[in-house]
Amino acid sequence: MKLKSLVRLVVSLLCISQMAFSQTKMPAKKIDALKKELIDDIEKEKVFTQQMVDMVFSFGELGFQEVETSKYLTDILRKNGFTVQEGIAGIPTSWMATWGSGKPVIAIGSDIDCIPKASQKPGVAWHEPIIEGAPGHGEGHNSGQPLNVTAVLALKKIMEREHIQGTLVMWPGVAEEQLGAKAYYIRDGYFKNIDACIFTHVASNLSVSYGDGGGNGMISVRFNFSGESAHSAGAPWRGKSALDAVELMNVGWNYHREHMEPTQRSHYVVVDGGDQPNVVPSQASVWYYFRERTYQKIKQMYDDAIKMGHGAELMTGTKMAYTVLGSAWPGHFNKPIAETMYQNIRMVGLPVWSADDQLLARAVQKEINSPKTDQRQRPIDGLDTKLDSLTPPEKVSMGGGSDDIADISWNVPTVVLRYPANIPGLPGHNWANAISMATPIAHKGVTAGAKAEALTLLDMFVKPQLLDSAWAYFKNVQTKDTKYIPLISATDKPAIDLNKKIMAEFRPEMKKYYYQPEQYKTYLEQLGIKYPTLKPAGTTKAATAASTDN
């Protein structure tokens, strides 16, 4: 035993010193000068950044169908010297783009998918879809990759000139709304050689947090029942209704809900309830998300649901099969990297909002009847003008949403940079969250985020002690008592057929609205939208075309 631990100590010391010796070191004065240069360069690139934000907004692609988005982004990266590997983890719209050489290897990611039925004209302060019923960026996932591209290209220029060693790996969060890809990236080994990861996500302030973020992990499962069809009036006794099984499973789960802890969240949609009433449904499916605070509790929900599915099967004489469509761990983020990033956030500061930006924000808040304070009791009034503080871990959490970046965070030291491209107080996953996403609010917020990210990346490449302390936190604090066990099995497959039909229905019409930067300075200009478009004072009716809100 003693010899073993001595060997382990020597090995870990060697590893640490190896990382330190192979990395570029730089005096503090020089780092400060390079940071100022990065801030200036990224500011100069603001038209390029705006074009990327507007372009991805105009694609509006749902999870696993991000064809145009991925093509557009990888084209830019290829033109800038990156080597692109497409279709990673068996996901056609996924990729990894690599530039540089040697250690450290830093992964930079952000989500790219959008929300069903969230099509919305940017800059218009009420519900007005570009295309009725079409998907749209009602989560703001059009902005994170443009931020990353701007930050990384500015940094790459400096790395080349200053001979800074290291590798940049860019990758997309495909189908984040289905929690559909990141656990597969981990399972299939794509993060094995990564030393740290920076992820970016849209928000309404420039901020970062560390430790347990208080969210839930989850597993997404579709239960399919197969029965026997029959004439619903002529011979109903010969039918075995798959829809009955779905309904009985849901009833069972909703009774079970009474006896679950308050931190759980579970919700479902019936994706197939049969074809028409006079045919006993031979096929029916229900799609569940099961969310909880720990792996063990999520697994318990999953096991309970399978039992309930079997119960419904017995009651109806049908056959049940189930398929995992996605999963996510509860997130835990790296303290040393977050602290460093927060110093850089302070150096960058919030964007300066114009009177028009604030007018739009307040009009949208009024339109959707936004609450007056957020969950941390801070006032909601227009866009944030005070920088958020470094967010410590949640002490007590009642649970909440999930993000599969968490699976990366349990395998590699990771932080999530949140940047101010959206309006505070909105419901999320909603058309209202798309309003700011191709306007000066998003453009300025993304530029600010790109600066904070580039400065933090520079720190990672030229301050070897940062990654050493990141890994020390990861090993000695984060994973001391909690070990990552994947929620997906070795045989589960990414649900790459999701959303295929919806995109096939809407894409031909959506294509007519793809952004054309050669012809129009901005997407607002292309759509002929005056910024901001507000309801005339004293009226509740929309000024232009009738609102389609319902």
**What does the binding site for Zn ion look like in residue numbers (CB under 5 A)?**
139
Of the pair 135, 281, the CB lying nearest Zn ion is at 135
SS (H, E, C) 399-423: CCCCCCHHHHHCCCCEEEEEEECCC
Query: In this structure, are residues 224 and 322 in contact, taking their beta carbons and an 8 Å threshold?
Result: yes
Written in H, E and C, the secondary structure of 75-113 is HHHHHCCCEEEECHHHCCCCEEEEEEECCCEEEEEEECC
How near is the Cβ of 367 to Zn ion at its closest, in Å?
Answer: 22
Closer to Zn ion by CB, 23 or 110: give it.
Answer: 110
Q: Which residue, 215 or 281, is less far from Zn ion as judged by CB?
A: 215
CB of 145 to Zn ion, least distance (A): 12
Residue type, 503: M
Q: What is the closest distance, in whole angstroms, from the C-beta atom of residue 173 to Zn ion in the complex?
A: 8
Q: How far apart are CA 231 and CA 344, in angstroms?
A: 68
Distance of CA 222 to the CA centre of its chain: 21
Q: Reading across the β-sheet that carries 196-203, which strands appear in turn?
A: 83-86, 95-101, 166-173, 105-111, 196-203, 414-420
Q: How far is the CB of 293 from Zn ion (least distance, A)?
A: 19
Would you say 422 or 526 has its CB closer to Zn ion? 422
Return the DSSP state at 73: H
Q: Which is nearer to Zn ion, 117 or 157 (CB)?
A: 117
Beta carbon nearer to Zn ion, 393 or 401: 401
DSSP-derived 3-state class of residue 146:
helix
Nearest approach, Cβ of 141 to Zn ion (angstroms)? 6
Encoded amino acid at 22, one letter: S
Given the complex with Zn ion, which of 139 and 292 has the nearer CB atom? Answer: 139
Which residue has the CB atom at the shortest distance from Zn ion?
139
Contact 194, 105 (CB under 8 A): yes
The residue (of 140 and 532) whose beta carbon lies closer to Zn ion is 140
Whether the Cβ atoms of residue 108 and residue 454 lie closer than 8 Å to each other: no
Strand partners, 207: 418
Closest contact distance (angstroms) between CB of 88 and Zn ion is 20
CB of 429 to Zn ion, least distance (A): 9
For residue 381, the surrounding DSSP H or E stretch is none
Pairing of strands 196-203, 217-226: unpaired
| 38, 43, 46, 47: CA torsion to nearest 10 | -100
Q: Which residues contact 468 (CB under 8 A, 6 or more apart)?
A: 16, 19, 20
Give the nearest distance from C-beta 270 to Zn ion in angstroms.
Answer: 25
